[in-house]
Structure 1
Amino acid sequence: MMADSTTQNQKRPIRVWVDGCFDMMHFGHANALRQAKAMGDYLIVGVHSDKEIEKNKGPTVMKEDERYAAVAACKWVDQVVPDAPYNTTVEILKEYNVDFCVHGDDITTMADGTDCYQAVKDAGLYRECKRTQGVSTTELVGRMLLMTRDHHRNRGTAGASPLASISSEDLGSFSTASGKTGINTGVSHFLPTSRKIVQFSEGREPEPNDRIVYVDGTFDLFHTGHIEFLKRAREQGDYLLVGVHDDQTVNAIKGVNYPLMNLHERVLSVLACRYVDEVIIGAPYSVTKDVLGKVYNVSLVAHGNTPTEPDLDGKDPYELPKQLGIYYELENPNASVTTEGIIDRIIEHRRVFEERQRRKNAKAVLEVEAELKEKAGKV
């Protein structure tokens, strides 16, 4: 009887808790969730409300419903808890029958500077994962703050500097986390590796009779509009192949400010989505015979019901699939959430987000100091 009981206990799934803002859900968030899921069997993610984040951190870029949906679409997440408390408590972990909580190896503090995870650390219910270097919501907002409404829509200044239309007053408003005055240039500091791509890849090959659907796009600032589109595309078949255009192509088609995220950042965001099976990295802008047959035999090419920019030669990029009768246009109820729309939110409330950046940088200094003190205390 004792052996049966022990066996039953061993089979109980390990329940892991992660919480956060997940504002502008990016591959750094996804990587933390991937690491947390690898520590157990069932991953529960608590997402803070707009009100809680405003109180402790500043205004959000994405609304809470958008953030809940973005986290739910991550393939490593089993359950989302909306309106999770900003200060992680032992009580919330008990409520969801959680074995332990996971957070990155950086300190997160409340508005008053106290460690959000101190209670669960003291209770022995805390574990750490590696924070992904080179990306954060603060950095992404910084990239967008270096744009103006006119500049980021300009397709005729391919050689211009991204700083060309920013005033010296705007540039002077930025400071680094180290406390030194500086300019956030908006350049990505993420260094891609083959290992990271493998970690995010599903690795599943299609079955011989699977209906393979192909979609392509930029997928910049990966958001709920993209997610809903990919979900609907996946419903049209058994296997979803996604083409992500390279930086040079996006830049040539959309203009000097795009893309905000580089190719590998965008690929990782797409790979983290539960509706995606495989990605073509640096897919051509126009759908070619190679795209339709050299990776897998594509049965259907889907595209959203939004305007499509012509290729550089002026041709319709979906001319071939239309001729073959395999082109399908998807209705997308979330088409109102776009990359341009997110940038507009930042530009519209420019001063608010500049103040948010200043507050974040000042808070980052305090968090680094607290982290150094904590490490010194362990020595």
Structure 2
Amino acid sequence: MASVSNIRNFIHRAIHEPDSARQYRINPPPEGGKNPARPVRIYADGVYDLFHYAHALQLRQAKLSFPCVHLIVGVVSSELCAAHKNAPVMTSQERYAAVRNCRWVDEVIEDAPWVINQEILDKLSIDYVAHDDLPYAGAGTSAEMSDIYSFCKDQGRFLPTQRTEGVSTSELLARIVEQYRNHNYDQKLAKIGHEELAFH
């Protein structure tokens, strides 16, 4: 887990020492970023299905990017996720609660939009949108966007975070399916009264 100084050094370099591999600029933080009266307002968004430590570490990076941060997390609804990606395992309310109970989160926006727009930036007074900086394609969007965060990058409001390797919701789902196919859940399913779900 990265130290606070490592997180802030990474952000400082990203803002003040542009990398040729990064095709966007990042605005300097507002002057009040060191003053609790004017925290830096950072927005992160996602599905947060099967909420796990990589999710928490990404939110930790966002929260600790500057000395004083108000972290807002947008969580998309199950209906919206199913329309653009695939249906999550956890319900909308379960995912809202999981994120709300993460220690780094100050505020949760339920039923967040799939793609951030000017309206939400203005409404929430967002200084930065935090996400890892690999292009995130907008599958299912009207324009089939190559990167749904390009809007924020163009405004200098995108704040890169570093991915945690070795765990993801997709990886966890693959592990669950493997365990299921190996009959490792048969006894559990029988115990909770769902013998009919055992793998055959």
State how far apart, in whole Å, the 2-side matches of 1:51 and 1:124 are: 31
TM-superposition CA deviations, 1:255-290 (whole Å, max 9, x none)? xxxxxxxxxxxxxxxxxxxxxxxxxxxxxxxxxxxx
State how far apart, in whole Å, the 2-side matches of 1:134 and 1:149 are: 22
CA contact (8 A) 2:135 2:146 kept: no
1:129 equivalent in structure 2 = 161
- Structure 1 pair 148–90 and aligned structure 2 pair: CA distance change class (3 A): same
Instruction: Identify unmatched segments of 5+ residues in structure 2.
Output: 1-30
State how far apart, in whole Å, the 1-side matches of 2:181 and 2:166 are: 26
Aligned alpha-carbon RMSD (Å): 3.0
Aligned length: 158
1:152 equivalent in structure 2 = 184
2:61 equivalent in structure 1 = 35
Matching of residue 66 in structure 1 with residue 66 in structure 2: no
TM-superposition CA deviations, 1:350-376 (whole Å, max 9, x none)? 9xxxxxxxxxxxxxxxxxxxxxxxxxx
1:90 equivalent in structure 2 = 118
1:24 equivalent in structure 2 = 50
State how far apart, in whole Å, the 1-side matches of 2:124 and 2:71 are: 11
Instruction: Identify unmatched segments of 5+ residues in structure 1.
Output: 1-5, 156-253, 255-306, 308-339, 351-379
TM-superposition CA deviations, 1:318-353 (whole Å, max 9, x none)? xxxxxxxxxxxxxxxxxxxxxx89xx8xx96x9xxx
Which has the higher mean CA deviation after the structures are superposed, 91-100 or 77-86? 91-100
State how far apart, in whole Å, the 2-side matches of 1:67 and 1:49 are: 9
State how far apart, in whole Å, the 1-side matches of 2:145 and 2:128 are: 23
CA contact (8 A) 1:28 1:136 kept: yes
Matching of residue 55 in structure 1 with residue 83 in structure 2: yes
DSSP-derived class of the 1:148 partner: helix
CA contact (8 A) 2:51 2:99 kept: yes
Which protein, 1 or 2, shows the higher relative CO under an 8 Å CA cutoff with sep ≥ 6? 2
Q: CA deviation at 1:150?
A: 8.2
DSSP-derived class of the 1:30 partner: helix
CA contact (8 A) 1:18 1:44 kept: yes
Code of the residue aligned with 1:20 in structure 2: it is: G
Q: TM-score, normalised by structure 2?
A: 0.70
Q: Percent of aligned pairs with the same residue?
A: 39
- Structure 1 pair 66–38 and aligned structure 2 pair: CA distance change class (3 A): same
Q: CA deviation at 1:70?
A: 0.2
Q: CA deviation at 1:107?
A: 2.5
